[in-house]
Amino acid sequence: MCRILAFKAKGEPDLSVLKAFLEASKNDVYFKYGSHSDGWGFVAFILRNGKWRVLFYKTHEPIYEDEMFFNYVSLLKGDEIHAIFHARKAGKSFLLGVRHNHPYYHKLPTHDVYFAHNGSISRKAFNNPTYPSTDSYLFFQEIIRKYQETNDFKLAYFETIQNLATYATSLNSALLTFNSQEGPKIYVGYYYNKSRMKEMEEYYKMYRYENYIFSSTIAYYLGKKTQELSFGAINDMSG
């Protein structure tokens, strides 16, 4: 299980939210293992002077030990910033290392697509369960496959969550799409399976603060008034 942060900002992001993400990754008060120590990553699209820039970084080093964290945060300045951050705890998985850290990336003919997931999914849910990557990556590929059928990212995301729901502990996740005509769009899926929970329920919840959406532990460290997301829905941050 992992921690996720997705946001839109102008000028620069709220540093208190990013610091809360860092603290949640280092010492998760809702998680029996305490920390999310199996690496971290982020993708950010930044608009400056009418031109988009993208930062994409992943490492297997724990976020709270990576001196690059605040260096990259200092680069998040522009007229618009759209970003997804993810800190990973791999559980029993042997699929470790930077290749398996989130966000994942897929290049479509029309879009660049990035994805991060918090949870576990039985590999029985997938047509190719022995594929040598994480269940999160297979989840992402299911969304891509659905998109190629529907030509609608939000619908493809929603239908994939419906299809995988009974196999998962949590499908909490974030999808960022980009092309030069539309710019970046962020969608956040919020669903956990109460019959398959392995931690206290609060661990699986997701909240919103202004234009920031995040896992529950980030809300705990932020200490500000937040609102729980609509359960089972795809939250569209592009509006």
Q: Per the structure, how many domains does the chain have?
A: 1
**Residue type at 219?**
A
Instruction: Report the alpha-carbon distance of residue 84 to residue 86 in Å, rounded.
Output: 7
Across the range 151-175, mean pLDDT stands at 97
Report if residue 238 sits inside a domain.
no
Task: Read off the CATH number of the domain in which 54 is found.
Answer: 3.60.20
Across the range 67-74, mean pLDDT stands at 96
Q: What is the widest separation between alpha-carbon atoms in the chain?
A: 49
Report if residue 23 sits inside a domain.
yes
Task: Indicate whether 169 pLDDT > 80.
Answer: yes
> What average pLDDT does the structure give for the chain?
94
Q: What is the 3-state secondary structure (H, E, C) of 72-96?
A: HHCCCCEEEEEEEEEECCCCCCCCC
Across the range 185-189, mean pLDDT stands at 98
pLDDT at position 206, please? Answer: 98
| β-sheet with 183-189: strand ranges across | 104-107, 112-118, 172-179, 183-189, 234-236
Task: Indicate whether 239 pLDDT > 70.
Answer: no
The whole-model pTM stands at 0.96
DSSP-based three-state secondary structure for 55: strand
Across the range 175-187, mean pLDDT stands at 97
Task: Indicate whether 92 pLDDT > 70.
Answer: no
User: In which domain, by residue range, is 91 found?
Assistant: 3-231
What pLDDT, in 10s, does the model give residues 111-130? 999 999 999 999 999 998 88
pLDDT at position 238, please? Answer: 78
CB 89, CB 33: distance < 8 Å: yes
Report if residue 237 sits inside a domain.
no
21: left (phi over 0), alpha (psi -120 to 50) or beta: alpha
What pLDDT, in 10s, does the model give residues 134-154? 999 999 999 999 999 999 999
